[in-house]
Amino acid sequence: MSKEGIHKCNAAENCHEENHICRIIIRKDLGRIKELVKDAQFYCKNCGRAAHNSENLCNPSKIMV
């Protein structure tokens, strides 16, 4: 992801992307969270959460195995 694409939020209150896990957690949509974290391929460098798609994280980085 290019530097322009990195979101500088460091907490859910600062994130304005409704599809980011940090925002979904505030809504307590546990079913959606379960879908998004299944077979996680990326983690967020800001909060440490993991997701299958980088689009669901503020500052994603590929998980290397």
Per-residue pLDDT of the chain (65 residues; tens, 9 = 90+): 444 455 556 666 677 788 899 889 889 999 999 999 999 999 999 889 999 999 999 999 999 98
Sort 60 into a burial class: Cβ within 10 Å, 0-12 / 13-18 / 19+.
buried
pLDDT on residue 11: 61
pLDDT on residue 41: 98
pLDDT on residue 60: 95
Q: In what order do the strands lie in the sheet with 60-62?
A: 50-51, 42-44, 60-62
Give the predicted TM-score (pTM) of the model. 0.76
